[in-house]
Amino acid sequence: MPAPKALERRARELRERLNEANHRYHVLDDPQISDEDYDALLRELLDLEESHPELRTSDSPTQRVGGAPSAGFPPYVHARPMLSLANAFDEDELLAFDARVRKLGGIEADVAYTCELKIDGLAVSLRYEGGRLVAGGTRGDGSAGEEITANLRTIKSIPLELRTANRKPPRRIDVRGEAYLRKSDFAKLNARRAARELRPFENPRNTAAGGLRQRDPKLAAERALSFYAYAVGELDVDHPPASQWELLEFLRSLGFRVNEHAARVDAIRGVIGYVKEFEERRESLDYEIDGVVVKVDDLALQARLGSVGKDPRWAVAFKFRAREARTKLLAIEVNVGRTGTLNPYAVLEPVRLGGVTVTNATLHNEEDIRRKDIRAGDVVIVRRAGDVIPQVVGPVLELREGDPPPYELPVRCPVCGADVDRPEGEVMARCTNATCPAQLVERVRHFASRGAMDIEGVGDQLARVLVEHQLVHDAGDLYHLDVTALRALPRMAEKSGSNVLAAIEASKGRGLARVLFGLGIRMVGGQNAALLAAEFGTIDAVAAATEDELTAVEGIGPEIARSVVLFFAQEPNRAMVARLKAAGVNCTAPKRERAPAGALAGKTFVLTGTLPSLTRDEAASLIAAAGGKVSGSVSKKTDYVVAGSEAGAKLAKAESLAVPVLDEAGLRELLASAG
């Protein structure tokens, strides 16, 4: 039955798309579609050709694998073709593969297989004569690739001379394997590039491919590629191995790296177990793998089974579930994190990925979206690695329709409508409203923390409960709680309710520096809060100060001044301050703060290491509020070094200069005596 016109058209379309994808992948090293998409298209074409053989053409991508060698490098002809592999995508397809092996091999019993990780790099072939590496090339179309000997020689795991101990070296051997880049080496390479302000490489595979095709072998060497051997082509030796497993051992003995996870199993059940294990473990490996290569172990059986076209009947590649997929980016939305950062995320047309349906993915920040040129309406590539949240890798530019506008982050907080601030040089934009519901739990926790208002009992947990039960809409609400309301909360006995109220009451007298720190104004840590308190004396004076007046204070720079002005320009922030004052919270600086004269006046402290219960900022706030100064480095002028665990050079320096060293308890004692 001749194929209907529609099928003919579809077959042509598939051929064109696959050929184009092949060219981009194998010749240009610049793939535009994922392996999974490619496999799906190829499979569709194979199925079409299977049921309508008249659709099969001699230039169909199903009739050859790979692409033509690109101009530039001399051709490298393979003495024996480098084969490709058919794929299996699930357990049933592995069982079908095994059934076919046994049928064609006329075998009733179990067949033994080797399982090898399918490393995602580039297949290369290395020719050794008399034990010496004489040439090497890429796979190309399987019959001929490109001769890249000089670049291959830069790969340290490729022996330039075979190790043969006192045996005679093979007269001739072609060793095949995968040239690849380790994830850790990829990260190092990109760190070095970042230091030189170069654009980072996208992924290890393309970086390895690019490395092998460098004109200058020095540039290839910089990429620090690795090599795993897994097969031979031509082999002229006196006692050839009889199985794939022996072959791997033989390659090892010649000085090659053979992947240590390769395993020999007695039957297809063992293959299924292996595949499951490594699908789980893939993220923990230092190289990317996209599946498992399964080979009939017995080489005599392999020879009997032979090949169909370029696919051997004795091997199959089990492909792991996709980690990348394409889908439409419906919209870019923004959520507000608990510290006020605006986090853009992608709303996606639902797509299956790694066994789950994905509808959202992170987009990091505005700059990243613009750098990758991601726009609403684009078809995008989404990636999921391990358990982490899916990410948008980038748009598929040739599928963009029209000219959608580049992304712009909203200028108002999507949760509360307040101004958004993104200081120069910072990647994250933030909501400026201290009462923004998205940030409330974190804001209340910070306000009550030790270096701020030090309200015992109001930690992360209670802050969350208070906000969830809508008893607290801003930090000022803490001072309007009553026992009845608290008692109604889960796990809040009357006793602990009144303890919390007493702690809140006691916090009213902490003074301006601690209030300012507690407000969580960006860039106003403990020390800056103390400087502002000492200078201005009341919260109203701080709120009314202009940027110029603020920068006139020693230690307050323009960015801090800008942040303070922006904070008090927000109406909800001013209302919250008014409520604090109305509740009787002391928003003025005690005398000691204004004109430091206490025991700590003029004393310089250096903080180092991790204190048991105070953060560095909290300790600085307490010291500053008591009139002391915190400095970054130890000198003869330092009065005290406060050292926690893992204190390093600063502690050593203090000891060598005989500067007194305090632990947290010592600091508290000193503060109490200064109070």
Positions annotated as catalytic residues are 118
Of 263, 258, 260, the C-alpha closest to 297 is: 263
In this structure, which long-range contacts are made by residues 477-480, counting pairs with CB atoms below 8 Å and at least 24 apart in sequence? 477/579, 478/444, 478/447, 478/448, 478/504, 479/504, 479/508, 479/579, 479/580, 479/583, 479/584, 479/585, 480/579, 480/583
Nearer to ligand IVH, 66 or 518 (CB): 66
Using CB under 6 A as the binding rule, whether residue 616 contacts ligand IVH is answered as no
What is the smallest separation between the CB atom of 213 and ligand IVH, expressed in angstroms? 16
Applying CB under 6 A, the span of 79-87, 331-339, 519-527, 636-644 interacting with ligand IVH comes to 79-87
Residue 387 Cβ, how far from ligand IVH at the closest point, in Å? 25
Strands 307-308 and 311-312: antiparallel
Closest CA to 479 of 596, 379, 612, 582: 582
Secondary structure (3-state) at 463: helix
> What's the per-residue H, E or C state across 14-78?
HHHHHHHHHHHHHHCCCCCCCHHHHHHHHHHHHHHHHHCHHHCCCCCHHHCCCCCCCCCCCEEEC
Residue of the chain from 18, 21, 45, 83 that contacts ligand IVH (CB under 6 A): 83
- The H helix count followed by the E strand count for the chain is 25, 24
Q: Is 434 left (phi over 0), alpha (psi -120 to 50) or beta?
A: alpha
| Minimum separation from the CB atom of position 85 to ligand IVH (A) | 4
Kindly indicate which of the ranges 113-121, 183-191, 380-388, 500-508 contains the residues binding ligand IVH, using the contact rule CB under 6 A: 113-121
142/344 with CB nearer ligand IVH: 142
- Secondary structure letter of residue 599 according to DSSP: T
DSSP state of 222: H
Q: At 93, is the secondary structure helix, strand, or coil?
A: helix
| Nearest to ligand IVH of 205, 629 (CB atom) | 205
The residue within the footprint of ligand IVH, chosen from 45, 85, 265, 358 (CB under 6 A), is 85
Q: How far apart are the C-alpha atoms of 164 and 90, rounded to whole Å?
A: 41
- Using CA atoms, how far apart are residues 457 and 455, in angstroms rounded to an integer? 6
Give the range of 30-38, 111-119, 534-542, 559-567 binding ligand IVH by CB under 6 A.
111-119
- The answer to whether 422 and 402 are in contact (CB under 8 A) is no
Mark residues 131-170: x for contact with ligand IVH by CB under 6 A, - for none.
Answer: --------x-------------------------------
Q: Which of 118, 205, 282, 319 binds ligand IVH (CB under 6 A)?
A: 118
The residue (of 83 and 382) whose beta carbon lies closer to ligand IVH is: 83
Length of the chain: 675
Q: Which stretch binds ligand IVH (CB under 6 A): 40-48, 118-126, 578-586, 596-604?
A: 118-126
Q: How far is the CB of 83 from ligand IVH (least distance, A)?
A: 4
- Is 214:165 a contact under the CB 8 Å cutoff? no
Contact characters 38-77, ligand IVH, x per CB under 6 A: ----------------------------------------
Q: Is 96 exposed, middle or buried (0-12, 13-18, 19+ CB in 10 A)?
A: middle
Helix (H, G, I), strand (E, B) or coil at 558: helix
Task: Say if CB 447 and CB 518 are below 8 A apart.
Answer: yes
Region binding ligand IVH by CB under 6 A among candidate stretches 71-79, 116-124, 159-167, 382-390: 116-124
Q: Which stretch binds ligand IVH (CB under 6 A): 205-213, 312-320, 435-443, 521-529?
A: 312-320
Q: By CB under 6 A, what part of segment 177-216 binds ligand IVH?
A: 178
Give the residue with the Cβ less far from ligand IVH, 311 or 367.
311
Q: Select from 212, 231, 268, 647 the one that contacts ligand IVH (CB under 6 A).
A: 231
Under rule CB under 6 A, how many of the chain's residues touch ligand IVH?
15
- Please select the residue that binds ligand IVH; options are 211, 312, 526, 598, rule is CB under 6 A: 312
Q: With CA atoms as reference, report the closest residue to 301 among 214, 348, 243.
A: 243
- To which residue do tokens 């019993």 refer? 109
Give the integer Cα–Cα distance in Å for 121 and 287: 9
Choice from 37, 98, 116, 297 touching ligand IVH (CB under 6 A) = 116
Among 34, 62, 84, 244, binds ligand IVH (CB under 6 A): 84
Taking the complex as a whole, how short is the minimal distance between the CB of residue 116 and ligand IVH, in angstroms?
4
Taking the alpha carbons of 277, 280, 284, 285 in that order, is the dihedral positive or negative?
Answer: positive
Alpha carbon distances (Å) from 35 to 18, 87, 107, 140, 322: 11, 12, 34, 17, 9
123 is a contact residue toward ligand IVH (CB under 6 A): yes
The answer to whether 230 contacts ligand IVH (rule: CB under 6 A) is: yes
Residue with Cβ nearer ligand IVH (118 or 323): 118
- Cβ neighbours for 230, distance < 8 A, ≥ 6 positions apart: 116, 176, 177, 178, 248, 251, 258, 259, 262, 293
Query: How far lies 245's CA from each of 248, 264, 347, 431, in Å?
Result: 5, 7, 48, 61
Of 230 and 640, CB closest to ligand IVH = 230
Of 292 and 577, which CB lies nearer to ligand IVH in the complex structure? 292
Backbone φ, ψ for residue 323 (5° rounding): -110, -10
CB of 294 to ligand IVH, least distance (A): 9
Considering only residues 274 to 293 of the shown chain, the ones binding ligand IVH according to CB under 6 A are: 293
Which span sits near ligand IVH by CB under 6 A: 80-88, 197-205, 581-589, 608-616?
80-88
Closer residue to ligand IVH in complex, CB, 118/592: 118
Give the residue with the Cβ less far from ligand IVH, 261 or 508. 261
CA distance 118 to 293: 6
Identify the residue among 18, 119, 453, 458 touching ligand IVH (CB under 6 A): 119
Site string for ligand IVH, 316-355 (x = CB under 6 A): -x--------------------------------------
Bridge partners, residue 661, by sequence: 641
Q: Please give the structure tokens belonging to residue 368.
A: 């990243």
Which of 83, 418 has the CB closer to ligand IVH? Answer: 83
- Minimum distance of ligand IVH from residue 145's CB (angstroms): 11
Q: Site residues (CB under 6 A) for ligand IVH? A: 83-85, 116, 118-119, 123, 139, 178, 230-231, 293, 312, 315, 317
